[in-house]
Amino acid sequence: MKSDDDIRLLAETAHEGGAILKVIIETALLTDEEKVSACILSRRARAHFVKTSTGFSKASATAHAVTLMARALDRLGNPMDVPITWRTADPANVFIEAATGRVTGLTPGTTGRVQAVVGTLVSELMPLTVVAGADTVEVPGDTLVVAPEAVASPGLAVRVAALVDGAYEGVTGRSIIFEIVEPPFADPAARTVEFTGNAALADTVATGADGFPAAAVTLSRIEGLVAPDTVQVEVRVVRRSGALVPGSGQRVVIAFQ
């Protein structure tokens, strides 16, 4: 990124309409110099926030990246080499590491406001929404049966859940990865079944408010070909840290009659 022209155009539109502009720079794909440059350009273009990553790249944000991105600026917008301390106005909802600015959510469903401090200077309070972390992946144990006259299977009712007050509740906005692993189709073009709607051996669907896929996930026969007797679909959910959520790797069995 060598120019802030595109960001500036979006920022002007956002400011005129009273909207908030957040720039995501995907820190895992940038050098330290590029991270700093992207933040400076975003600030000069008047973006409201800069975010470290989407959570879907090859790695999540690190404390080092957060430290690089949080810089005090002089009145001309140039970075100053002075230490920043972080604090929160809502300690019951979030915990923030004073030196790195790394935030841990404490109370799902609440908002935590954080702030950067340099001497007597303070930033605006930045609101963060605390969402429940995924604790488990629940997969139905019964085999799904596809009748001879049916083109598609019943929906794969997989749920991502979090333990809240002693009970499991669905987690919204988490991506579930579905992949056909048995039988193995070494050549995808030779497949005889596929995920409905995307003509592929894998599908990724976000969860709705109840923790189940927001859009139905089904398998379809390919017209003119003979489907295997059974198909096994492996289910995975990946944390933003890159670790698998417990319960990942379980399989849903679909029987084609």
Identify whether the C-beta of residue 58 lies closer than 8 Å to the C-beta of residue 92: no
Regarding whether 251 and 140 lie in a shared domain, the answer is: yes
Between 19-28, 35-44, 73-82, 247-256, the lowest mean confidence (pLDDT) is in: 73-82
Confidence grade of residue 156 (pLDDT, cut at 50, 70, 90)? very high
Compute the mean pLDDT over every residue in the chain, rounded to the nearest whole number: 86
Joined together, the tokens standing for residue 185 give: 């189709």
Range of the domain at 172: 136-256
pLDDT for the residue 165: 76
**What element of type H or E holds 67?**
helix 63-69
Tens digit of each residue's pLDDT (9 = 90 or more) over 207-257:
998 999 999 999 999 988 999 999 999 999 988 667 899 999 999 999 999
User: In this predicted model, which residue has the larger pLDDT, 138 or 62?
Assistant: 138
Count other Cβ atoms within 10 Å, centred on residue 167. Answer: 8
Identify whether the C-beta of residue 231 lies closer than 8 Å to the C-beta of residue 202: no
Identify the CA nearest to 217 among candidates 206, 229, 232. 206
Regarding whether 106 and 14 lie in a shared domain, the answer is: no
Query: What sign does the CA torsion over 182, 213, 51, 112 have?
Result: negative
Backbone φ, ψ for residue 152 (5° rounding): -120, 160
Respond yes or no on whether the N-terminal peptide bond of residue 228 is cis (omega within 30° of 0). Answer: no
Residue 13 above 60 pLDDT?
A: yes
Residue 58 above 70 pLDDT?
A: no
Of 70, 103, 130, the residue that ends a domain is 130
Domains contained in the chain, number: 3
